[in-house]
Amino acid sequence: MAVVTGVIVANLNFIQPIENLIATDFGLAKSVVGALAMVTQLGYAFGLLLIVPLGDIFDRYHLIQFMIGLSIVSLLLAYWAPNAGVFAVVTTLVGITSVAPQIIIPYAGYLAPALQRGKVLGIVLSGLLTGILLSRSFSGLLGSWLPWQDIYLIAAVIDLVFLVIVHYALPHDERGHQDLQYWPVIRTLPKLFARQRALRGSAINGFCLFGMSNVLWSTLAFYLAAKYHLGSNVAGLLGLLGIAGVLAAPMIGTMVDQRSPKLTIGLSMIFSGVAFVIFWLLGTWMIGLIVGIVLLDLGTQFSQVSNQAIVQSLNRKESSRNNSVFMFSYFLGGSIGTLSATWAWSHAGWLGVCGVALVFLIIAVLGHLVIGEPERLNTEEVTD
């Protein structure tokens, strides 16, 4: 589950290190390319909102395979796209169809013993983060050797291989299809958000912390080109620094189980905030970028693992819908972070980018103080 989650989520991030290449090929301004990256994540957010709740209705074993198949078709269309307009539509489809990881994550939480749910989710989410960071390295390095379109073709082939693996290796869903209807289920999403304080807190924190992450990754290629005259391959290599977050994920999950999600959420904001202080003060030196990226990825991972553990502890019967609400907010924050950061880069440079991150951090801290997080996870096997 961890490996497949990483492979599919990678589809969302191929565009970030190669934005300069796409801008040159299609003759676009940097702010417009930033909008293309934004619509990929916005498409993913709406896929989370409208498709992931199907995990509470349909057999997840079959639903996951169906969505992987659709993502393969979207990647092939991205490879073929002849102009910027078509690519904008297709990259939105890539986002919408790449939601299988967010069906897998609540499925893993459903299968895990209650007292080990945080640890299990930490392992699966380490796969998610690995896919995110390796996707940047993958596309950045290949973009320096091959036409950028080939990245999407290679990704489609890889996804096809893992579709076969999923068919034979993924556990079957013992629940089968549920006696629920689609639109009534979708209409419950706002009610879940309003009824569950912990879900609201996680949604706001995820919105802000993933927004901060995308503030960096959507502008790093531009900054490296302007400051250091470096290309997409270096942006991709810097993505490998996120390995610290991958290695920390199971430990974070254990901390959430044994200590407190309130503590780990607090740490997520500290790491991310300090990262952007370093970017602001020391970003003109490569060592400052390296240290800041490590801290930012740790902050993102602390937030993701902690919030997923909170969300998946709320109600097993509603796990896919709770995850849909949380991840919609998460990637909505990411898309807004991408768009606002590229706009800030065009108008105020690196200082403007750091200012956008500060706004996200302030909102996260306010959410932490006003709504807060539970001191302990719910470890009861709630089914109603």
- The ranges assigned to domains in the chain are 2-171+180-370
Q: Which of 108-112, 142-146, 163-167, 374-378 has the lowest mean pLDDT?
A: 374-378
- Residues 69-101: pLDDT tens digits? 999 999 999 999 998 889 999 999 999 999 999
Among 72-81, 185-194, 332-341, which range has the highest average pLDDT?
72-81
Q: How many angstroms separate the Cα of 170 from the Cα of each of 10, 117, 351?
A: 19, 18, 46
**133 pLDDT more than 60:** yes
Q: How many angstroms separate the Cα of 163 from the Cα of each of 1, 10, 142, 159, 166?
A: 12, 15, 23, 6, 5
Which of 355, 204, 205 lies closest to 267, judged by CA? 205
- Residues 314-326: pLDDT tens digits? 876 777 788 888 9
**382 pLDDT more than 50:** no
CB atoms within 10 A of CB 65: 15
Higher local confidence (pLDDT), 88 or 173 = 88
CA angle 14–253–293, rounded 5-degree value: 40
Residue 172 is classified by DSSP as: P
Higher local confidence (pLDDT), 225 or 291 = 291
CA distance 102 to 311: 12
Average pLDDT score over the chain: 85
| Confidence band for 257, pLDDT divided at 50, 70 and 90 | confident
Residues 74/93, Cβ–Cβ less than 8 Å: yes
CATH number belonging to domain 2-171+180-370: 1.20.1250.20
Q: What is the pTM of this model?
A: 0.75
Residues 277/366, Cβ–Cβ less than 8 Å: no
Count Cβ atoms within 10 A of the Cβ of residue 137 and give its class: 0-12 exposed, 13-18 middle, 19 or more buried: buried
**370 pLDDT more than 70:** yes
CA distance 295 to 280: 14
Higher local confidence (pLDDT), 149 or 327 = 149
Q: How many angstroms separate the Cα of 23 from the Cα of each of 116, 148, 151, 217, 221?
A: 46, 11, 16, 16, 12
Q: Which of 233-242, 249-258, 346-355 has the lowest mean pLDDT?
A: 233-242
CA distance 162 to 320: 22
**156 pLDDT more than 50:** yes
Listed in order, strand segments (DSSP E) in the chain are none
| Dihedral over Cα of 129, 91, 167, 53: its sign | positive
**232 pLDDT more than 70:** no
342: enclosing H helix or E strand: helix 319-370
CA distance 77 to 40: 14
